Chain A
Amino acid sequence: RKEVEQDPGPFNVPEGATVAFNCTYSNSASQSFFWYRQDCRKEPKLLMSVYSSGNEDGRFTAQLNRASQYISLLIRDSKLSDSATYLCVVNTGTASKLTFGTGTRLQVTL
């Protein structure tokens, strides 16, 4: 099983739609979780950290499910500008490092 696994997509959704991505991780001892956003040919940028109790930032909601070892990202009222690749990032292993998923591509259309 991969350390961090994501559906590559693409997810094609119309503007205004709600879309959700999941990401599974293999190490039950993982403690740090993030969602990063990467635009085409650009660097990854932090979108939000994921806390145990779940957290919200405007139209974005992140959830952590430790029992099933996955994190989720919900985007409400999608905008054209949300089109990007969303990277799931988890700390894994005894070396305490971050592992980046391969990303889920979102395309928001008119």
Chain B
Amino acid sequence: NAGVTQTPKFRILKIGQSMTLQCTQDMNHNYMYWYRQDPGMGLKLIYYSVGAGITDKGEVPNGYNVSRSTTEDFPLRLELAAPSQTSVYFCASSYISRTDTQYFGPGTRLTVL
């Protein structure tokens, strides 16, 4: 099993550009999450999904969108990138519930200039 994979690893965007961060898991987990981590800060939940076709907002959803058309994939869309979205983005998944052990992807480092 590859676990949770994310692409790209790094990306530089200009202000106002858009992009999609890809996340795939092969563990058949129902729950998937997107977090951002700023330097010296904890992980902040952006969006989560409890299964295919179901998504919900986390703590910091503004400026982002998600979709979950399959169990495996949970892409995060950034529209109109802003410097405040410069961060490391982690995708994670869990099997049983939102309070179950979460398994993380390697992250995407995004810089918006």
Contact = CB atoms under 8 A, between A and B. Distances in A.
B104 interface: yes
B40 interface: yes
B107 A43 contact: yes
A45 interface: yes
A101 B43 CA distance: 8
A43 B104 contact: yes
- From DSSP, what is the main secondary structure of chain B's interface residues? loop
Contact of B90 (A8, A44, A49, A102): A44
A1 interface: no
Chain B, interface residues (CB within 8 Å), range: 20 to 34
- From DSSP, what is the main secondary structure of chain A's interface residues? strand
Contacts of B105: 43
Given A43-B90, A101-B42, A96 B98 contact: yes
A42 B106 contact: yes
Query: Closest 5 CB pairs between A and B?
Result: A43-B104, A91-B99, A100-B43, A102-B42, A32-B99
Interface of B: 35, 40-43, 45, 48, 58, 90, 97-107
